[in-house]
Chain A
Amino acid sequence: MTAETASASELAPGEGKYVYCIIRNDRSREFGEIGIGNGQRVYSINHKDLSAVVSDTPIVIYDPTRENVLAHEFVNETVMREFTLIPMSFGTVFRSENDVLALLRSTYQAFTDVLDKMQDKIEFGLKILWDRDKVVAAIERDNDEIRRLKDEITRNAASSTYFARMQLGRLVEAAMEDASNRYVTDIHEQLKSVSVASRSNKVIGDRMILNAAFLVDRKDEKGFDEKVKAISLQYEDLLSFKYTGPWPPYNFVNIKLKLEKAT
């Protein structure tokens, strides 16, 4: 019986604090019942002019399910409408309000510096996937050597050698890599004037050629948006674009917090 009660009280929200982000704010703030774990109340814990945006939570490890990740992101999106924020990693849980205050106190200067730097900056995500068949068709159209070799192989289907086919395959692969680099460079170049910084992440799957995040000044949001639309029109026959945001600057804030497991 006692064990059961203990585990039940461990699961009751109240003691732990799930931290979503850090903002500059010196008043008590409420952000609504939108927190992780069935709409917990989201509010601020303040130290001087900094706040941690938190909700109460049992001391648990949160799985990065879509539901949980969306809850985390939704809180940050909501806070972002009013504040420049430093996002915390998904699943960051502190044992108590005091532990959160210790974080704000000990990292006060670093948070302040980053908030200054990120003032009015937002992030956009851009994933670009290509349609292999269409790109290959375009390459065959534009590359004389490949076209000749392919014609030759098709004309002499029976007698064409394994070597010729291998050579064609290699040429196409190389041409595709060239094309991918050319597209990516061109797109980065076009977006440079409307963004402050960019970061390329590892591509996912074999159709993606770009998985990038762009840091954009709020005043350039419209310009960035228009540029992305223009680029996706320019490449609409070859590439598909997955454009997301605005996000908090997840990819551009790199504070190494010295945290340890709270036992």
Chain B
Amino acid sequence: MGLLTNILLAPFLGPVWGTRFTLDKVDRAVREQLTDDTPIKEDLMALQLKLEMGEIDDDEYVKQETEIMQRLRDVREWRERFGMSVGGGPVRVAEEQETE
């Protein structure tokens, strides 16, 4: 949001096509951020390590885990909204392979 405002209010707006190009790029960056669960999974692994190393207790773990699970669900929801593939959920053997 802040980034968008900065770009929109920038005093040195270029030609229209330039602005649109920038907005497209921002849009893509935002979309990538909304739909990428890699950093969330890394946070989860880091959290797990903290528990294993005795740096946090079970209660703290569960508390932070709940937040991370919510973030994962949010990403899943955005991915569905953008029509991207989603991990988890029921699967079956892909059609082509069955006929091999």
Contact = CB atoms under 8 A, between A and B. Distances in A.
Contacts of B59: none
Looking at chain B's contact residues, the main secondary structure is helix
Given A61-B76, A65-B69, A127 B49 contact: yes
A103 B94 CA distance: 9
Contact of B52 (A63, A106, A242): A242
A187 to B, nearest CB: 19
Interface residues of A, number: 33
Contacts of B76: 61
Contacts of A94: 90-92
Contacts of B53: 129, 240, 242
A101 B86 CA distance: 23
Contacts of B49: 127, 204-205, 208, 242
Interface in B17-47: 42, 44-46
B92 A259 contact: yes
B93 interface: yes
A93 interface: yes
B91 A63 contact: no
Interface residues of B, number: 29
A203 to B, nearest CB: 10
Nearest to A257: B93
Interface in B71-100: 72-73, 76, 85-98, 100
A78 B73 CA distance: 30
Contact of A260 (B45, B72, B73, B95): B95
Interface string A62-106: 111110000000000000000000000001111100010011011
Given A65-B69, A129-B53, A258 B94 contact: yes
A66 B56 CA distance: 14
A65 B65 CA distance: 7
B90 A261 contact: yes
Contacts of B96: 258
Given A129-B53, A242-B52, A260 B94 contact: yes
Interface of A: 16, 59-66, 91-95, 99, 102-103, 105-107, 127, 129, 204-205, 208, 240, 242, 257-262
- A-B pairs, top 10 by smallest CB distance, nearest first, are A61-B88, A259-B91, A258-B94, A262-B92, A262-B90, A258-B97, A260-B94, A99-B92, A91-B88, A102-B93
